[in-house]
Each structure stands twice: as structure tokens, then as C-alpha cells.
Amino acid sequence: MHDCLLSFTFQAVRPKKYDRGRVMDTRFEERAAQVKLTQREKKIVEFMSQNGDSFLSDTITEFAEKAGVSEATMVRFCKHLGYKGYQDFKVHAAREMLPQEKQFNPQLNREDDSAMICSKVFNSELSVLSRTLLEMDVKVLEEVAKSLKEASRVVIFGTGGSLNVAKDALHKFMKIGLMVYVYEDIDLQLMAASLLREGDVAVLISHSGSNLRTMKCLELAKEGGAFTVALTGLGRNPMSKAADITLHIASEKTIYQSESVSTRIAQLAVFDTLAAMTAFQDYERSNEAAMATRRATSYGKI
């Protein structure tokens, strides 16, 4: 169904030459009208027709606000066209509207040699780290670090690549004496979230801010009275609106932003910072924990 729908929506209006500022052809409205859209869904089509491919960098919350509809309407619109949801819709749209090399990394070109690719990728990582640092509010980081130190329990939630970041954070925090938990199985994550109470902290990682499973964990944690911290991408999204505190991560503008290596590096840097800030709140205790954990694992090293 996806391919069929794309053929009468995006493929018909794709420009011969990539032009970021190009306004969509009116044929998009004509084609979309064949699906018998509701009045609110037609507002979405109108917005897209007037704004070209600029929506590709919007979160679902930002897109819905700009188009003057609700997030629920946006989700229904995407499903009406045959997609699983907003992210699935964006990925398929971008594949039709952007050159292939720009989908993977906007900085790369097919003519780039190995040296140029190396240079561009490294500079891209540095850029994302710098932009993430500019977004960080030290007072907010201090509040999160304080909540982590004083928490009865800390549970970090995430799926896919975010789960790998969560496991790395678990390693860092445990070395300084914090009792932090990470569960790989989503059912265990949901169970753990449902048991969190006041005095506990839930840290939730989702770059899109719209991962339904992670959002459900956030909802359950808040219901139990836990303090919730979201680590998510720039811009407004469902997770940033629901969490008690949000830490924003920059990324390269690709259709696979949540899979971007630069995004992962920035997320890891934020956890490195939080671990250091937490440790220095009680350095003696943290140092003792670090020594104890090193001794415990030293048997396996030469």
C-alpha cells in the first residue's frame, strides 16, 4: 500500500532537481483528494503544499501546531495514507523527495572520496556536540544530577539504539555508587515503570520523543509519582511536553535522525556530564564506589 500511495502523492510532485525551498505542486492536493480526506486532513495537505519538504525536520508536535491540527489528527492522516504513523510517513516521504545521498547524511555527496567522507563525518559529530552543549542549561543539569544522587531508585528506559545508550549510562552510574536499573525486555520496562514511586527517578530516552513504548513507561512512572527526565531531540514533541524535565539533543537533519551516530555521541556526552556532576556532589563516596567496582572487576584483567 505504501508504494501505491507514494506513487500518487509524492512521486508525481518530486522536482527534477533538488530544491529545498520548492513549494509542492498542486497535483498533490488533487491526488490526496482521491483518498477522501476529512476537512482537518485537508488542512495538512494544504500546509504541505505551501511549505515544500520543510516538514521533514518537524516533530509530530511541531507539524501539528504549524498545520493547525491535533497530533491525533496527524496520526490518523498518516494511517489513512497507509503508514504505521508519523515517523513511517516521514521516512517514505523523504525517500521520494530527497536525493538518496542526502537521506543518509546531508553533508555527503557521491563524489566524496574517503578523506572527504572522514572529514565531513568527524566535523558533523563535533557540530552536533557543540549544538547540544549550547542547548544545555547548567541549572537544569544540576537539578537532574541532584535528583539522581538522592533517588531511591533510578530506572533508565529506551528501545533500539536508545537502549544501548541506557546500558552505557548504567555502567557509568553504577561505578560511582548509584543503584540504577535498565531492562531490555519491554514488558519488564513497563512493569518497572509501574512500580516507581515518589523518590524514584525515571530517565527516558527517545530522540523522536514519540516512541509509544517509552511514552507508556513515562506515563506509568508519572502515575506512581516518580520524577521523570526525558532525553530527546530538539523541538517540541509528546515526551518533552509530558516529562518533568527535558534535556535536548541536537542531531543532523536526516530522515534517520534517531539512528544517527552523532546523536548517540551527544546522548553519551550528556550522561558522562551527569555522572561527573553527580559524583562531585559527594566525591569521597563516589571515589570509594569507583575503587570497589574496579576491585570487583579486576580479576578478569591482566
DSSP state of 17: S
Average pLDDT over residues 233-248: 91
Does the residue 220 lie in any domain?
Answer: yes
Say whether pLDDT at 166 is over 90: yes
Q: Are 135 and 250 in contact (CB under 8 A)?
A: yes
Does the residue 131 lie in any domain?
Answer: no
Instruction: Output the pTM of the full model.
Output: 0.72
In the numeric block, the cell 512512572 is attached to: 221
Q: What totals of helices (H) and strands (E) does the chain contain, helices first?
A: 15, 5
Here the cell at position 216 is 507508556
Does the residue 9 lie in any domain?
Answer: yes
Query: Which domain range does residue 55 map to?
Result: 2-101
User: Which of the pair, 144 or 6, is modelled with greater confidence?
Assistant: 144
Q: What is the CATH number of the domain that holds 76?
A: 1.10.10.10
- 105-149 confidence digits (pLDDT tens): 667 777 889 999 889 888 888 888 999 999 899 999 999 999 999
Does the residue 59 lie in any domain?
Answer: yes
Quick one: 259 and 172 in the same domain? yes
Does the residue 243 lie in any domain?
Answer: yes
In whole angstroms, give the CA distance from residue 94 to residue 101: 12
- Which of 51, 76, 101 is a domain's end point? 101
Please give the tally of structural domains in the chain: 2
Quick one: 94 and 142 in the same domain? no
Does the residue 126 lie in any domain?
Answer: no
Handedness of CA 16, 18, 262, 230 (dihedral sign): negative
Quick one: 21 and 142 in the same domain? no
Quick one: 83 and 163 in the same domain? no
DSSP state of 299: G
Distance in Å from the first CA to the final CA of the chain: 57
Average pLDDT over residues 282-292: 93
Does the residue 45 lie in any domain?
Answer: yes
- Which of 44, 74, 101 is a domain's end point? 101
